[in-house]
């Protein structure tokens, strides 16, 4: 697919963006379309920051495949479709750039990141090197009854996967890992592992090993270190 070419639209209904953003938010060509085609511009509700809402909508679009790896999207075009200035869109995109989801293309906009199989494998390996030893320590030290506290988080991941909601699954997956590692009491471990986890989620994987979250909790509760090691490794996406 040619990079930076014109597109016909990001689906707002699926990506969580306003309806007027759906028809041509992608690409760099929508300045002339705007709200001048007889459609009112609906401003974003002010429940929280405009930047925060746009960031959420863009993340959903990434997970749903509405923003295509390798393609370039401009801040002004997306801002016009959201009914806001380009500034909060650029701020949201800068955050996504820090997370490794997009790359800045000077004077053009942002290119959605793509990862080679090797890059995916490297991220998975680093995650496993960080998380699996921590899981093994936790299996030996955390009281068995504490693991049931995390069951609702594991079930949320399972439910999201069953619905086919990749964005919700990604959030539930990361929330589960944060909570598990949180038993270590090491805030730096949780923060670094979560950042790596978020990076590993771009682009969204097709498979969602949701049931393994529940299996990992069972293994931790039984202090089955061999199962913990195997499940933790798979949940990090690493295939030794």
Residue 119's Cα: distance from chain center in Å?
17
DSSP assigned state of 43 = P
Instruction: Indicate if 104 and 130 belong to the same structural domain.
Output: no
Q: How many domains does the chain have?
A: 2
CATH number of the CATH domain containing 26: 1.10.10.10
What residues make up the domain containing 71? 12-112
Domain boundary among 112, 138, 159: 112
pLDDT in tens, 17-29: 444 443 333 443 3
Instruction: Indicate if 163 and 225 belong to the same structural domain.
Output: yes
CA-nearest of 119, 134, 108 to 200 is 119
pLDDT in tens, 20-53: 443 333 443 333 333 334 444 344 444 458 889 9
Domain boundary among 53, 84, 112: 112
Q: How far is the CA of 214 from the CAs of 37, 144, 164, 219, in angstroms?
A: 50, 14, 18, 9
Contact criterion met (CB below 8 Å) for 138 and 232: no
Alpha helices (runs of H) in 142-186, residue ranges in sequence order: 151-163, 166-182
**What is the chain's pLDDT, residue by residue, as a tens digit (240 residues)?**
434 443 434 444 434 444 444 333 344 333 333 333 444 434 444 445 888 999 988 888 888 888 888 999 999 988 887 788 899 999 999 999 988 899 999 989 999 988 888 999 999 999 999 999 999 999 999 999 999 999 999 999 999 999 988 889 999 999 999 999 999 999 999 999 999 999 888 776 667 788 999 999 999 999 999 999 999 999 998 776
What is the phi/psi pair of residue 112, to 5°? Answer: -65, 130
Buried b (16+ CB within 10 A) or exposed e, 25-42: bbbbebeebeeeeeeeee
């Amino acid at each position: 697919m040619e990079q930076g070419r014109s597109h016909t639209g990001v689906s707002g209904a699926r990506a969580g963006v306003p309806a007027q953003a759906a028809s041509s938010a992608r690409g760099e060509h929508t300045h002339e379309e705007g709200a001048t085609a007889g459609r009112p511009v609906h401003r974003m509700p002010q429940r929280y920051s405009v930047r925060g809402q746009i960031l959420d909508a863009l993340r959903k679009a990434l997970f749903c495949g509405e923003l295509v790896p390798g393609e370039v999207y401009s801040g002004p075009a997306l801002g016009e479709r959201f009914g806001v200035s380009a500034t909060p869109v650029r701020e949201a995109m800068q955050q996504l750039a820090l997370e490794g989801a997009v790359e800045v293309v000077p004077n053009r906009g942002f290119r959605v990141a793509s990862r080679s199989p090797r890059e995916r494998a490297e991220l998975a390996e680093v995650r496993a090197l960080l998380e699996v030893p921590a899981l093994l320590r936790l299996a030996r030290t955390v009281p068995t009854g504490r693991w049931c506290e995390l069951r609702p988080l594991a079930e949320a991941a399972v439910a999201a996967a069953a619905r086919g909601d990749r964005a919700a699954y990604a959030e539930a997956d990361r929330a589960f890992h944060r909570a598990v590692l949180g038993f270590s009491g090491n805030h730096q471990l949780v923060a670094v592992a979560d950042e790596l986890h978020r990076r590993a989620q771009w682009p969204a994987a097709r498979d969602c090993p949701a049931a393994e979250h529940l299996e990992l909790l069972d293994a931790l509760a039984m202090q089955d270190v061999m199962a913990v090691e195997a499940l933790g490794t798979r949940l990090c996406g690493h295939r030794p």
